[in-house]
Amino acid sequence: MIERALRGGSRYWTLVGALAVLAALGGFAYLHQLRVGLGVTGMSRDVTWGLYIAQFTFLVGVAASAVMVVLPYYLHGFKPFGRVAVLGECLAVGAVTMCLLFILADLGQPYRALNMILHPSPRSILFWDMIVLNGYLLINAVAARMGLRAEESGEPAPKWVHWLVLLSIPWAFSIHTVTAFIYQGLAARPFWLSAVMAPRFLASAFCSGPALLLLICLLVGRISRFRIADEAVDRLSIIITYALLANLFLLGMELFTALYGAIPEHTVHFRYLFLGLDGHHELVPFMWASVLLCVVAAVVLLRPAWRRDRRVLAWAAGMIFLGTWLEKGWAMVVAGFVPSPTGAITTYAPTGTELLIALGIYSAGALIVTMLYRAVLVTRGDLPAREIP
């Protein structure tokens, strides 16, 4: 089944080739990092996590969001999501793979990564995150494959697949909750020490992930015979809208608690994010851009007429994706470290090598998703096996 990804026209191979080249470029940059150390990145003694961990966090959300199509389809029998569910699962496979690669890229001693299994420490959230992420990868890979096979043969999938898919629903929530626990359990970092961290992570995941999936579906609809049903688009856009509102609401909760409660250790991080601190304004434009993008998108999506217009919807989805990325895939991690526990303000900006490695990992993920989608579309007959693209 998967071998169908190996058949395609020149456009397809150009895309695959380009992604492979970018991934290889990231690989070379990584070799450089491996030789010199993480000193090639912009991270520092005070800001010890940066782009890699932020991307990991963001992509866990993208992966978890597959549940937003799986749940209505399998639990509520919402048929229009039938064709989208497998695509969501494939997207999750790509996203989790990227998560794992980003963690690996962030390790100072990647050769010793297996120590996490050889010397497990159940008190560490990172240990549990490793388990749930790998489990989620496995579940989605199997579920996507079996689902597709069932589609092809026209016979229902075996019973255990159904149970597996049901298991994937709480599992999706768990990956993002556990990822939030990595942050929200740290007394040393008041910015992250917040009970709404996990709900906020879920809300931002359930708007940004489906937004991405929607964009991908619309794109796939242009280059293949695959068509996403209007009902499915409708339902997805409603999910996105509500998740986005929840996300904004929870951000408001954070702000209120921090600012009205006025404990300096809490407010100082928000000051750094929204106003700048001691002449340091690095994150201010990103943070405002993020809020602005999300608010505008929310206003647009709240009006049914606009929401149903696919052009407008696509733009709104793009804005949501970018807006949540700026906040979660960037500002949220860095702001936890600024100022440091001893009050130092250290600025962080990723270096070229760091960006190249991140680009490489994203390309590798895109490559996986592209090939999986190709296999799915050919299997369904939405794409001719040999023709362009």
Q: Which residues bind another protein (CB under 8 A)?
A: 36-39, 41, 43-46, 48-49, 103, 106-110, 112-113, 115-116, 118-121, 123-127, 130, 182, 185-189, 265, 336-337, 340-344, 346
In the complex, least distance from residue 191 CB atom to another protein, rounded to whole angstroms: 11
With beta carbons less than 8 A apart as the criterion, state whether 66 and 127 touch: no
Start-to-end CA span in the chain (Å)? 19
In the complex, least distance from residue 52 CB atom to another protein, rounded to whole angstroms: 11
In the complex, least distance from residue 324 CB atom to another protein, rounded to whole angstroms: 22
Give the residue with the Cβ less far from another protein, 14 or 115. Answer: 115
Give the residue with the Cβ less far from another protein, 154 or 264. Answer: 264
Give the residue with the Cβ less far from another protein, 112 or 303. Answer: 112
Q: 10 Å Cβ neighbour count for 214?
A: 26
Give the residue with the Cβ less far from another protein, 40 or 316. Answer: 40
Residue 300 in tokens: 């647009």
In the complex, least distance from residue 202 CB atom to another protein, rounded to whole angstroms: 22
Q: Which residues contact 313 (CB under 8 A, 6 or more apart)?
A: 214, 233, 237, 301, 306, 307
Give the residue with the Cβ less far from another protein, 39 or 304. Answer: 39
Give the residue with the Cβ less far from another protein, 332 or 375. Answer: 332
With beta carbons less than 8 A apart as the criterion, state whether 297 and 326 touch: no
In the complex, least distance from residue 50 CB atom to another protein, rounded to whole angstroms: 10
With beta carbons less than 8 A apart as the criterion, state whether 118 and 176 touch: no
With beta carbons less than 8 A apart as the criterion, state whether 93 and 141 touch: yes
Give the residue with the Cβ less far from another protein, 23 or 51. Answer: 51
Q: Which amino acid is at 302?
A: L
Give the residue with the Cβ less far from another protein, 187 or 305. Answer: 187
With beta carbons less than 8 A apart as the criterion, state whether 99 and 172 touch: no
In the complex, least distance from residue 126 CB atom to another protein, rounded to whole angstroms: 4
H-helix segments, the chain: 10-36, 51-64, 67-70, 76, 82-106, 115-118, 125-153, 159-184, 197-223, 230-261, 264-274, 284-302, 304-308, 310-326, 332-337, 352-380
> Which of 70-77's residues contact partners 24+ apart within 8 Å by CB, and which partners?
70/143, 70/165, 70/168, 70/169, 70/172, 71/169, 72/235, 74/162, 74/165, 74/166, 74/169, 75/166, 75/169
In the complex, least distance from residue 54 CB atom to another protein, rounded to whole angstroms: 13
In the complex, least distance from residue 3 CB atom to another protein, rounded to whole angstroms: 20
